Structure 1
């Protein structure tokens, strides 16, 4: 656990060094029609909980994920083709628009929220699982300087899938393999519990 907390602390000391075009939220709104089919008009993906909410997400994080899909650093059969034709300006505009929207917080399952909160805030010292809040913050707002995403209010289904993808090595676009290191000792039940807690967490 201490190893990952130290790594997170070191990462927090650096500003994300990504050259980014200035995004225009109004232009992003005009370009977002194709995104709305999955993510919703305001980025709250109301149709399918496996599609992430992107409303209120840090713009640099949104940009990185789209660029990673475009460059095949992150793979998804739906997102990769959608990202392929986007220019850097398109990506910046979409990020500016969706980051300006407000996420709609969900409701955590009552039978999992207590254990999920314990994992989120304290981790599991017995197995070396780090606390989620070490990087994502007490309220799940993330850290834009370190490009750690906001996760509060995210669909539990999506969070659980993301954790399992990191553990399985099918998602590897995390900085310095931090997420892969955190989840390698997590059980399926722990992932389900913390995902439920995150779904009901308000920023």
Structure 2
């Protein structure tokens, strides 16, 4: 019996390690305050300029929470929200939101063709790489690399972030240099098209 219990504990521990160090159930208890802006389970923000948090990737979410808490990523609406949260509480929040389903948005059909071409093939003429290379062909992101899921994210939020990377306002994080370089080569029309495309990508 002791061997069986030890085996179960080890299995649970290995599963937790594989998915990160956060506890989704513990995170849910601290997520109520987030619903005011990001919606229940981080799925339906009250404004299109706010991100959906559901299913973005635990590593990415944790890194962003830390950056916001330390002030490295300044977001006026988040001022004070994460004050006093421990590392474990941030990990738990990240695990909780990553555990939720990401609902798709409705893409504008007029922009899908241009957006798809950029997302899947980039723009060779201007040196823009394909988004799919880092964020996966289905837009599900790359958890080990810390690249977030884009599929289903609000187009307005994606557009806002690409412009922030392009303008240098968003310059923190392990992948920020890559995103700043990519965004610097995108036109406003390309940003609108690719943001629209990923919002309905599935």
Q: What range describes the TM-score normalised by the shorter chain of this pair?
A: 0.7 to 0.9
Kept after mapping to 2: 8 A contact 1:55/1:98 = yes
Aligned mates of 2:93, 2:173 — CA distance in 1? 21
**Partner of residue 145, structure 1:** 144
- How far does residue 85 in structure 1 lie from its aligned partner after superposition? 2.4
Aligned mates of 1:140, 1:69 — CA distance in 2? 24
Deviates more, 1:61-70 or 1:45-54: 45-54
Runs of 4+ in 1 over 4 A off after TM superposition: none
**Partner of residue 115, structure 1:** 114
Aligned mates of 1:188, 1:119 — CA distance in 2? 13
**Partner of residue 199, structure 1:** 199
**Partner of residue 82, structure 1:** 81
TM-score, with normalisation over the residues of structure 2?
A: 0.87
Aligned mates of 2:149, 2:143 — CA distance in 1? 8
Aligned mates of 2:190, 2:180 — CA distance in 1? 15
Aligned mates of 1:175, 1:93 — CA distance in 2? 21
Kept after mapping to 2: 8 A contact 1:153/1:198 = yes
Aligned mates of 1:90, 1:122 — CA distance in 2? 39
Larger Rg: 2
- How far does residue 182 in structure 1 lie from its aligned partner after superposition? 0.6
Aligned mates of 1:170, 1:75 — CA distance in 2? 9
Gaps of 5+ in 1: 1-19
Aligned mates of 1:30, 1:72 — CA distance in 2? 24
Aligned mates of 1:31, 1:163 — CA distance in 2? 29
TM-score, with normalisation over the residues of structure 1?
A: 0.86
**Partner of residue 93, structure 2:** 94
Gaps of 5+ in 2: 1-18
Deviates more, 1:50-59 or 1:174-183: 174-183
The Cα RMSD (Å) is: 1.4
After superposition, what is the alpha-carbon deviation per residue over 1:58-101, rounded to whole angstroms, capped at 9, x for unaligned?
11111000000111111110124212322111101111111111
Aligned mates of 1:33, 1:100 — CA distance in 2? 15
Kept after mapping to 1: 8 A contact 2:20/2:95 = no
Higher relative contact order (CA 8 A, sep 6+): 1
Aligned mates of 2:173, 2:66 — CA distance in 1? 13
